Structure 1
Amino acid sequence: MTSDDVRALIAATGLCKRFGRRVAVDGIGFAVQSGEAFGFLGPNGAGKTTTMRMISCVSPRSGGSLRMLGLDPDTDGPAIRARLGVVPQRDALDRELTVLENLIIYARYFDIPWRAAKDRARELLDFVRLADRMDEGVDGLSGGMKRRLVIARALINEPDVIILDEPTTGLDPQARHLIWDRLYALKQRGVTLLLTTHYMDEAEQLCDRIVIMDGGRIIAEDSPAALIREHCTREVVELRFPVGQRPNIDGQFTGLTDWTEQLPDRVLLYTDDGDALCAHVASRGYRPENTVVRRGNLEDVFLRLTGRELVR
């Protein structure tokens, strides 16, 4: 264990979770520092949510060590949970209560006095831009509004760590960006964020560091920018061809590309000079229906490390 691990707000070493003979999390280690935004990425079944459940002290570990806020989840679970804010995948709001009442009643679980709970709830609704809906029922809220309300609910106990499990899944771009704005504001206040997401741009926007998991193990860890530099090229050229007419270009661009991917409908060329490569493509007589030159991104890294096959 390093000195950074000792000072970390959350630290795991050899962390395991087994369900019978199935190993869901297989000896992983990581450390999250105070005020950091730390992300878990991976395909379905990689072990992300299982890891988050152990961190949230709702699922006991099968092996290894885990320290949360300097405490042991096995013996100090209630004390740890009192200092966490959790945004689950499903909103689980009380449909019988108003927007404001959802926060006040939740605050009472933390023994927050009624008057203080009401004041805190009003402050949080203003923070997530729902103050004008506080007296309405939750059924009338859009999906994005409900997610913002759940984030407000997770903040009611002024937690040291907020755990977000796919916080913007299914939302439209406007709602996603508003939630990003609110989460970034929390990060600026020094709140520690842990999140899982399937949106690579979300991880790039919010996370200081990420781990990529596959098959219950961590296969890469670093900042988004560092992972892109290590596992991708500066630019990617996408050539899209008519269905069934994609040419075989194996070995055609040796020296101009780091590697090539041939997909059913398009070819991806990984390079540090997209414009020069496009000129070379044209000189070889290839005529794709569409050509896109873009920067290498975290999704390229993710797919390279975890593969393009669907996980069943």
Structure 2
Amino acid sequence: MTYAIETEGLVKRFGEVTALSGLDLEAREGTVLGVLGPNGAGKTTAVRILASLMSPDGGTARVCGYDVAREPHEVRRVIGLTGQYAAIDEQLTGAQNIALVARLLGLKRAAARQRAAELLERFGLSHAGDRKATTYSGGMRRRLDLAVSLVGEPSVLFLDEPTTGLDPESRNELWDIVRRLVTNGSTVLLTTQYMDEADQLADDIVVIDGGTAIAKGTPEELKAKTDRQTLEIQPADAVHLDATRRIVEEISGIRPAGEGGTLRIQINDTALPSAVLRRLDEAGIEVTELALRRPSLDEVFLSLTGSKGRKERDRVAELATAGTAPAAPAAPAEGSIR
């Protein structure tokens, strides 16, 4: 199998703090790899190393077959990067932002203007191409930022929490853009805090905690690894809610949580729903809903990561973003990274 992105035993330390402790991950060509983890788990550190903005202290990392430590210039020629915050010049127009990067990448003036027009059209920004970016909404800035990342037509795109702070409509627009990129053959590494985003976009997922991969698989495979399912029960009459709760607790030994007239309990016994239904029927309690559903990706994530090591993760996040200056990037003409 051919991997567009591959790391093996990747290590990064900031003084006495270890941000990555032997990270292994692989992204297949033409797919989306979702990288999940709590803040400070090592996601952004991994992205910065893969984008050749930071040197690893151990292990190997390859992008499109190029070693990020030994061949950083080659890596920069084939990648694009969109960070957690839009990296655009707000005093330039949308067209000028794109044309500027195109010129830095070596395009002639006319070709740079043409590339800007193409990308503005592609991202639904043609109507605002002559406006300063400072007048753009958050979603428009994000689309412009992504458009700039694609000036050099990268084979691999790193998206580091790209939808943070966006409204639902803007998030959906960005999701559609990512899907089109992958359909056209690009490989995307996506870090995100939104489990529904990973569920919607990722072909494969790796969960990172403590600087190492603690789980891998497709979204469905990860859900299947959690044996607990959620039983939801809603009595037809809210007056029976407490009686229903007592019956469920008596049968399962666990007190169900509830809100909005619906009780929920996590179980791993598939025979329990029918037992509950029989007891409710005997008690004369009618239910409008009794459903057993598989765990969500949020529940899988929480079961894997919990709250362990929060102080250490916060320290890693602080050092990765501010405490240590990254290696200086190559001149923009070397690739599409900004």
**Does TM-score exceed 0.5, indicating one fold?**
yes
Partner SS, residue 104 of structure 1: helix
2:33 to 30, 33, 38: 38
- The amino acid that maps onto 1:269 is Q
> In the alignment, what sits opposite 1:175?
170
**Aligned counterparts of 1:295 and 1:143: Cα–Cα separation in 2:** 35
Per-residue CA distance 1:14-45 (angstroms, 9 max, x = gap): 11111111110110112222111111100111
Identity among equivalent pairs (%): 36
Q: Which moved more, 1:152-161 or 1:116-125?
A: 116-125
Q: By percentage of residues, which structure has more helix?
A: 2
Q: Which residue of 1 aligns with 2:152?
A: 157
For the pair shown, the structure with the greater C-alpha radius of gyration is 2
Q: Is the 8 A contact 1:237 1:274 kept in 2?
A: no
**CA apart distance, 1:263:** 7.0
Q: Which position in structure 1 is the counterpart of 2:91?
A: 96
Whether the aligned pair in 2 keeps the contact of 1:37 and 1:193 (CA below 8 Å) is yes
After superposition, the Cα gap between the structure-2 partners of 1:281 and 1:148, relative to the gap in structure 1 and judged at 3 Å, is farther
* SS at structure 1 position matched to 2:152: coil
Residue 133 of structure 2 is aligned to residue 135 of structure 1: no
**Paired residue total:** 295
State how far apart, in whole Å, the 2-side matches of 1:62 and 1:215 are.
16
In structure 1, how many angstroms separate the alpha carbons of the residues matched to 2:133 and 2:91?
A: 8
Matches within 5 A, 1:116-135: 116-135=111-130
Which SS does the other structure have where 2:71 is aligned? helix
Structure 2 unaligned regions, length at least 5: 312-338
- Map 1:249-288 onto structure 2 (within 5 A): 252-253=251-252, 268-270=265-267, 276=274, 279=277, 282=280
Which letter does structure 1 place at the counterpart of 2:303?
Answer: R
In the alignment, the residues of structure 1 paired with residue 124 and residue 276 of structure 2 have an alpha-carbon distance, to the nearest angstrom, of 46
Contact 2:21 2:212 in 1 (8 A): yes
Q: Give the aligned partner of residue 76 of structure 2.
A: 81
Tell me the distance in 1 between the aligned counterparts of 2:75 and 2:216: 26
1:201 aligns with 2:201: no
Q: Distance in 2 between matches of 1:196 and 1:21?
A: 25
Amino acid at match of 2:301: F
Q: Look up the match of 1:306.
A: 305
The match for 2:230 among 228, 236, 256 is 236
Q: What is the Cα-based RMSD across aligned positions, in Å? A: 3.0
Measured in 2, the distance between the counterparts of 1:261 and 1:66 equals 48
TM-score, structure 1 normalization: 0.84
Measured in 2, the distance between the counterparts of 1:247 and 1:130 equals 57
Structure 1 unmatched ranges of 5 or more: 255-259
Which structure has more relative contact order (CA 8 Å, sep 6+)? It is: 2
